[in-house]
Amino acid sequence: MTASGKVITGVRTFAADVINGFLEITHNGFALLGLAVAFAAITLTARADLRQAGEEQLRGWLHARQVEAVGFPLEPSASERAMAINPKELPREQAAVAYWLSKKYRVAPEPLAALVTEAYEVGKRTKLDPTLILAIIAIESSFNPFAQSSVGAQGLMQVMTSVHTDKYEGFGGQLAAFDPVANLRVGVKVLQECIARAGSLEGGLRYYVGAANLPDDGGYAAKVLAEHFRLRQVAGRPAADVKPNLSTKAPAAQPAAEKVALLGGTGG
């Protein structure tokens, strides 16, 4: 064999050795990787705490990637926090009221449906007509849960939060005045007290608006009862017992302290 032939043979032998060595190392590497994956799977299956930690780290990584992609945190459960109901899921009477109020006050029907449901539930517990509760909300705030008057009445039913602080204690404090459900429930409690003190619905409404010591209530009771009358018609309820046109003359004057104690809304 010539010298050049020996060189070529040697190169081929060297290349073959290198290739065989690489394949062996690679094969062993994959085998080791497989063993590592299998060991990790067994460990995670046996150790629930490690599996949970791994899942949390993975979720954190995925969340960080989402934030990076869209520019702000995503909250898949946000819809559960929203106060909204599909009006089509309500009983016919409640759905009719929700859609009518939505159209008149230009408020989305879904949150209104939730308010209507709450008003009917609270009305049943307190023996107050739910359409009366909704009529007061309509006149007081036009269904704006963040409304505030110049004298500090707040929320849907424009309750004087500073006067009725004790009534919000069961809801976590004064900031609950801006929670629609909490405000509605507190407002109804104030209305009950006003009606009980005055002895009549009309007189109670004048107490509620803070007009017990004034010559008239500026037409507040008449506006509330007119809206109440319309809502009862929408709901398909008898409206003969509701008087849409009332005198605005206030009941006999009461001590100022009583007025302050029962002050609820401000008439928007």
pLDDT digits 0-9 by tens, 209-231: 999 888 889 999 999 999 999 99
> Lowest-pLDDT range, 47-61, 79-93, 206-220?
47-61
Q: Where are the domains of the chain?
A: 3-70, 87-262
- How far apart are the C-alpha atoms of 224 and 202, rounded to whole Å? 10
Position 254 pLDDT exceeds 50: no
Average pLDDT for 42-54 = 64
In this structure, which topology does domain 87-262 adopt according to CATH? Answer: Lysozyme (1.10.530)
Q: Are 183 and 157 in contact (CB under 8 A)?
A: yes
- How far apart are the C-alpha atoms of 134 and 142, rounded to whole Å? 10
> Is the pTM higher than 0.75?
no
Residue 56: its pLDDT value, please? 74
Element spanning 159, H or E = strand 159-160
Which residues does 266 contact at the CB level (< 8 Å), separation at least 6? 140, 149, 150, 151, 153, 158, 160, 209, 210
DSSP 188-209: HHHHHHHHHHHSSHHHHHHHHT
